[in-house]
A and B are shown apart, each in its own frame.
Chain A
Amino acid sequence: MTGSVVAIGMGLAVIGAGLGIGWIGAKAMESIARQPEAVGDIRANMILMAAFIEGAALIALLLSFLVA
């Protein structure tokens, strides 16, 4: 029972992280289209921000391991 609840919770966390990373990607693409000369800076910052969001998803993963 706790296993399935944890699986649902983990899925929700992944939805959140997926939306977040998708948004970062979309905005980064927009910015690159607007300012192609800043592509290097934008890419590095995009990866950094995606890593932060991934960190939040990983905390959810850790908690799900602890509960399950």
Chain B
Amino acid sequence: MRYNMNIKAIFLFIFSVSAMSLLQANNQYEESGCSSQEHHGEFNVGEIALHHIADANVFSIGPFQIPLPCILYAPGYGWDVFMSSKFKPDFVGHGDGHVVYNRYVLHGGMVRRIAGDDFPMGEVNVSGFVHREELVEGKKKDAYYACIEDELIPLDSKSTADGGLFGGGITSYYDFSLTKNVVSMMLMFIFLSWLFLSISRSYTAREGKSPKGAQSLFEPIIVFLRDEVAIPFLGHHWERYFPLLLSLFFFILSLNLFGQIPFLGNANVTGNLAVTMALALIAFLVTNLNGNKHYWSHLFLAPGVPAFVKPILIPVEVLGMFIKPMTLMLRLFANITAGHIVMVVFVGLIFIFGKSGESLGGTAGAAVGSTILTMFMMAIELIVAFVQAFVFTILTASYIGAATEEAHH
């Protein structure tokens, strides 16, 4: 009982500090404008939600920012490898650096680069950041600025693998850093390796005996996946694809659950389009590389279909080949991201009703309401974490099954 009380006290403490840092961050946005800049201190819950689901170059445990290694490359300037503590962000804060290092800055936990060519290399002090929407050629675009010696210096868009060609803005640098998401994936990789190696060891050590410990937790799950997913969809060659299915299931499940632990990074890994795209690409490749003659002939020749339907059916089938992994990618991304956004928005309700600390009654009322709503959503998200991992696995199995099925007519 006393042990429980201690845990509660620790959680209460971390939660209060986190809530205070959210409030502080909100005030910082107000003060961060340079003197020439009009202030926009409105509490923008959408902006905060997007910041919280994004990847970051710092690992935040509660309000504390743990620096991570940055590996950056800018064409013409070469590689830069350093820890993100080089930007001197506040240890208790929101990941805004106080120093420009080799033209890189840390804003909202993320590395950005100063645009243009006439900024000096090395360390320069930065007093704050400004983010506003600007009209560029009739379209609204997010513009980011660093305040350096009371001057607004424009920043590049976030780094993307395509250099910003497919939207997202042209960038002058590539970010290969070990970000929060990468570190979370590595942690889960180590955890799962340790867990399953120890389980497999106990199977050899305790052969013929009843399962014990972690064994008895995971055996029903694996048997369920074998009997309900692998064998019905893949038939007699289920053993060939079962390791892939199990890896997908446990990788997605562990990352879904890890992202749900409050104050421990809250890494939105499976809610990151790049991660789900890689997973969907694996499903796509395995499906199509193992597709047999029967599968391809159904795709391109559509036997047994009237000739006048074929020009419609074949393009639809071929498109479907790409749409299937696309929906795999989007389903996981949308479900997990939506869950994370809803959680932040519910906490943000406290600040909306409390008018950022001005109205105490509003704060207290909304705090009670939002705690109940957040607990309800957490319970739902716990189910979603399992369902989405299961759905990804069962759909991958059904696609592979459809591609490797033998002709039966």
Chain A residues with a Cβ closer than 8 Å to the other chain, count: 11
Question: B228 contacts A44, CB within 8 Å?
Answer: yes
Q: Is the Cβ of B331 less than 8 Å from the Cβ of A55?
A: yes
Contact A48 B331 (CB under 8 A): no
Beta-carbon contact of A61 and B390 below 8 Å = no
Known: A47-B387, A48-B398. A55 touches B228 (CB 8 A): no
Cβ A44 vs Cβ B394 within 8 A: yes
How many residues of B are counted as interface, with CB atoms below 8 angstroms from the partner's CB atoms?
A: 14
Contacting residue for B330 out of A40, A47, A48, A62, CB 8 A = A62
Contact B228 A40 (CB under 8 A): yes
**What's the Cα separation between A40 and B331 when bound, in Å?**
23
B327:A59 contact, CB within 8 angstroms: yes
Question: A51 an interface residue at 8 Å Cβ cutoff?
Answer: yes
Q: A47-B394, A48-B394 are in contact. Are A55 and B327 (CB under 8 A)?
A: yes
Do B395 and A61 touch across chains, with their CB atoms under 8 A apart?
no
Interchain CB contact under 8 A, A58 and B331: yes
- Please state if B327 and A48 are interface contacts (CB–CB under 8 Å): no
Q: B239-264: contact bitstring with A at CB < 8 Å (1 yes, 0 no)? A: 00000000000000000000000000
- The answer to whether B323 has its CB under 8 Å from any CB of chain A is yes
Contact A61 B228 (CB under 8 A): no
Q: Which residues of B contact A47 (CB under 8 A)?
A: 387, 390-391, 394
For the complex, what is the distance from the CA of A14 to the CA of B168, rounded to whole Å? 27
Complex Cα distance A47/B385, Å? 14
Residue in chain B with minimal CB distance to A57: B334
| Complexed CA–CA distance, A4 and B248 (Å) | 38
Q: How far is the CA of A47 from the CA of B391 in the complex (A)?
A: 7
Taking CB atoms, residues of chain A closer than 8 Å to B387 are 47
Contacting residues, chain B, for A48 (C-beta < 8 A):
391, 394-395, 398
State in angstroms the CA–CA spacing of A55 and B388 once bound together. 12
The 8 A CB mask of B379-400 against A (1 = contact, 0 = none) is 0000000010011001100100
Chain B residues near A40 (CB-CB < 8 A): 228
Chain A minimum-CB-distance residue to B335:
A54
CA distance A61 to B337 in the complex (A): 13
Q: Is the interface of B mostly helix, strand, loop or mixed?
A: helix
With the chains together, A50 CA to B398 CA distance in Å? Answer: 14
**Contact between B327 and A58, CB atoms less than 8 A apart:** yes
Interface of A is mostly: helix
Q: Who on chain B is nearest to A56 by CB?
A: B327
Question: Which residue in chain A gives the minimum CB-CB distance to B227?
Answer: A40
Query: In residues 23-64 of chain A, which contact B (Cβ within 8 Å)?
Result: 40, 44, 47-48, 51, 54-55, 58-59, 61-62
Specify which of B229, B323, B391, B398 is in contact with A59 (CB 8 Å cutoff): B323
Instruction: Closest A residue to B324 by CB, please name it.
Output: A55
Neighbouring B residues of A62 by C-beta, 8 Å? 326, 330
Select from chain A the residue with minimum beta-carbon distance to B394: A48
Residues in A neighbouring B395, C-beta threshold 8 A = 48, 51
User: Shortest beta-carbon distance, A44 to chain B, in Å?
Assistant: 5
Q: How far is the CA of A14 from the CA of B350 in the complex (A)?
A: 28
Contact A61 B330 (CB under 8 A): yes
With a cutoff of 8 Å between Cβ atoms, the chain A residues found around residue B228 in the complex are 40, 44
Q: Is the CB of B394 within 8 A of A58?
A: no
Q: Determine the chain B residues whose CB is within 8 A of the CB of A59 once the complex forms.
A: 323, 326-327, 330
Docked-complex contact A58 and B398, CB < 8 angstroms: no
- Residues of the B chain whose Cβ atoms lie less than 8 Å from the Cβ of A51: 331, 391, 394-395
Q: B394, A61: Cβ atoms under 8 Å?
A: no
Q: Which residue of B lies closest to A61 (CB)?
A: B334
CA–CA, A56 and B176, complex, Å: 34
Name which of B326, B330, B387 has the most chain A CB atoms within 10 A of its CB.
Answer: B330
The chain A residue with its CB closest to the CB of B390 is A47
Closest to A48 in B: B394
Which residues from chain A contact B391 at a C-beta distance below 8 Å?
47-48, 51
Contacts A51-B395, A58-B327, A58-B330 aside, 20 further interface pairs with beta carbons under 8 A come to: A40-B228, A44-B228, A44-B394, A47-B390, A47-B391, A47-B394, A48-B394, A48-B398, A51-B331, A51-B394, A55-B323, A55-B327, A55-B330, A55-B331, A58-B334, A59-B323, A59-B326, A59-B330, A61-B330, A61-B334
By a beta-carbon cutoff of 8 Å, the part of chain B in contact with chain A is 228-229, 323, 326-327, 330-331, 334, 387, 390-391, 394-395, 398
9 A-B pairs with the lowest CB-CB distances in the bound complex, closest first: A55-B327, A58-B330, A51-B391, A44-B228, A58-B334, A58-B331, A58-B327, A48-B394, A54-B331
